């Protein structure tokens, strides 16, 4: 038997990698983990966590306006970007410390530096080589920016989190959840915001009603959305930028951010030299057991470019560790995974879209409700909520639930549990609603349209 330095060597200390490392260590597996950038990965440092903090910050401008409808006199509050950044940085540093403590206290060897595979059982970090029985690739993804003239003037979502000051105007290119979320954030913080996209709808892959409704709500708030617009070049002029579209129309702005997708972070890991199979985007190809074509090499999370969500990566980590080192292996069920877009208003969804449901079944009932939330009866804000439920008529199976509105993510989390537990439309109908709430609408939908 070969005496390896480690049983498991994890490359990447993001959510998936950290969960795998400390879970394995808890099973008396000898584990090392290498990270060359920051503990916690994208989610903690330049993703979920700071973005949600920015979303909270951006709500207050509208909340101050809404407060007047409830008797609170306007006091003209001022926003301080540097204070928000300082507070955000403190929280990120705290979380990085939490991740470090979780690893070290569980017995994981934490190695700082860029790791790459030398062979199927050897990882090199700096000038030092480590032998290991198995290697786990958990390096996540990285923003992808197209190669156009003026690319050097383009920032990604990563750079937003380190801005010294807020621009007066911002151009955001893209239509995915990152683009939509940052459009709401920047607008809420008082930045004149333009969102442009080469297609004709936001949020590809979401339910069509959701896509149309969120665009309408964003436009009502004052966000400028330019559909069917493809940026060809970006020029710098007098301290500003000119983004020229396919019709040579110029969009003048102070900051250009691209949110046009992310690619798996596999460059420089030695995977291709070793013969690990990658797809055309650089994603690691794995089987149902998260194993690559090299038996000792595994991968999970965003680096595999399948379902790129932090909770999915952590679930995959626990499933992999249980398969490798436990007598009670677990699996990840990829059906009915809930997700949210922290746009303004929020979006949350679980299950099939209407088009997916109708393509799969010929007896689909659709229930939909659009209403003004009770809060806005006095707030003076022209915002509405959309709730939608898809049901298979013959079995009363809930196929999908979708929502645009305040606290959508909080509401749909509970709905996802109900769907996974097998709740039918009859069970929803027999459930007493909590009144007055928006969520009670889901148990009072009676007539399909």
pLDDT tens column, 275-301: 999 999 999 999 999 999 999 999 999
Closest by Cα among 366, 363, 426 to 390: 366
pLDDT tens column, 401-419: 999 999 999 999 999 999 9
Query: Which residues are catalytically annotated?
Result: 435
pLDDT score recorded for residue 76: 83
Backbone angles phi, psi at 260, to 5 degrees: -110, 30
- CATH topology match: 6-142+263-325 vs 151-260: yes
pTM over 0.75: yes
Name the token pair of 50: 């700071």
- CB of 383 within 8 A of CB of 346? no
Confidence band of 1 (pLDDT split at 50, 70, 90): low
Level-2 CATH architecture, domain 151-260: 3-Layer(bba) Sandwich (3.50)
Q: From CA 218, how far away is CA 175, in angstroms rounded?
A: 12
Backbone angles phi, psi at 296, to 5 degrees: -90, -5
Confidence band of 2 (pLDDT split at 50, 70, 90): confident
- CB of 257 within 8 A of CB of 172? yes
Name the token pair of 134: 């198995």
Q: From CA 229, how far away is CA 326, in angstroms rounded?
A: 52
**For the structural domain made of 339-443, what CATH number should be given?**
3.30.390.30
State the average pLDDT for the chain.
Answer: 97
Checking phi first, is residue 405 left (phi over 0); if not, alpha (psi -120 to 50) or beta?
left
CA distances from residue 26 to 33, 40, 112, 298, 340 in whole angstroms, order as listed: 14, 19, 21, 19, 32
CB contact set of 380 (below 8 Å; sequence gap of 6+): 65, 66, 68, 69
Name the token pair of 179: 């683009």
Alpha carbon distance, N-terminus to C-terminus of the chain: 66
Is pLDDT at 74 greater than 80 in this prediction? no
Question: Does domain 6-142+263-325 sit in CATH 3.50.50.60?
Answer: yes
Is pLDDT at 449 greater than 90 in this prediction? no
Name the token pair of 145: 């920016």
Looking up tokens 């109900």 gives 418
Give 442: exposed, middle or buried? Use CB within 10 Å, 0-12, 13-18, 19+.
buried
- CB of 41 within 8 A of CB of 14? yes
Q: From CA 290, how far away is CA 288, in angstroms rounded?
A: 6
Name the token pair of 409: 């993510």
- CB of 347 within 8 A of CB of 425? no
pLDDT tens column, 201-233: 999 999 999 999 999 999 999 999 999 999 999
CA distances from residue 43 to 116, 142, 163, 211 in whole angstroms, order as listed: 23, 12, 18, 25
Is pLDDT at 73 greater than 90 in this prediction? no
- Over range 352-368, report the average pLDDT: 98
The domains of the chain are located at: 6-142+263-325, 151-260, 339-443
């Amino acid at each position: 038997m070969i005496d390896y330095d480690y049983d498991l060597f994890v490359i990447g200390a993001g959510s998936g990698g950290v969960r795998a490392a400390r879970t394995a260590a808890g099973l008396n597996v000898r584990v090392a983990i290498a990270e060359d950038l920051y503990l916690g990965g994208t989610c903690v440092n330049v993703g979920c966590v700071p973005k949600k903090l920015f979303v909270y910050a951006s709500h207050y401008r509208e909340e101050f306006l809404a407060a007047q409808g409830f008797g609170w006199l306007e006091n003209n509050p001022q926003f301080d970007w540097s204070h928000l950044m300082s507070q955000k940085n403190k929280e990120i540093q705290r979380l990085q410390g939490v991740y470090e403590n979780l690893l070290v206290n569980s017995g994981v060897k934490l190695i700082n530096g860029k790791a790459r595979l030398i062979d199927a059982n050897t990882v090199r970090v700096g000038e030092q080589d480590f032998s290991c029985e198995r290697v786990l690739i958990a390096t996540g993804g990285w923003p992808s920016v197209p190669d156009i003239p003026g690319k050097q003037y383009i920032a990604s979502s990563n750079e937003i989190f380190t801005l010294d000051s807020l621009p007066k105007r911002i151009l955001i290119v893209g239509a995915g959840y990152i683009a939509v979320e940052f459009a709401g954030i920047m607008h809420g913080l008082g930045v004149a915001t333009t969102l442009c996209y080469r297609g004709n709808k936001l949020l590809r892959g979401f339910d069509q009603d959701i896509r149309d409704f969120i665009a309408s709500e964003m436009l009502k708030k004052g966000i400028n959305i330019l559909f069917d617009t493809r940026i060809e070049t970006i020029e710098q002029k007098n301290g500003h930028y000119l983004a020229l579209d396919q019709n040579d129309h110029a969009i003048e702005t102070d900051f250009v951010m691209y949110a046009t997708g992310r690619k798996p972070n596999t460059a420089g890991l030695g995977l291709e030299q070793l013969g690990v199979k990658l797809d055309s985007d650089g994603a690691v190809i794995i089987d149902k057991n998260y194993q690559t074509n090299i038996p000792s090499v595994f991968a999970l999370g965003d680096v595999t470019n399948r379902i790129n969500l932090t909770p999915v990566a952590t679930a995959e980590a626990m499933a992999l560790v249980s398969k490798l080192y436990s007598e009670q292996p677990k699996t990840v069920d990829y059906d009915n995974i809930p997700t949210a877009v922290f746009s303004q208003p929020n979006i949350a969804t679980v299950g099939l879209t209407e088009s997916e449901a109708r393509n799969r079944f010929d007896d689909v009932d659709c229930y939909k409700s659009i209403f003004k939330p009770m809060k806005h009866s006095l707030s003076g804000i022209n915002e509405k909520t959309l709730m939608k439920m898809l049901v298979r008529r013959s079995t009363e199976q809930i196929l999908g639930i979708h929502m645009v509105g305040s606290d959508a993510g909080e509401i749909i989390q509970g709905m996802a549990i109900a769907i996974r537990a097998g709740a039918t439309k009859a069970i929803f109908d027999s459930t007493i609603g909590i009144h007055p709430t928006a969520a009670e609408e889901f148990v009072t939908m009676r007539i399909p349209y």
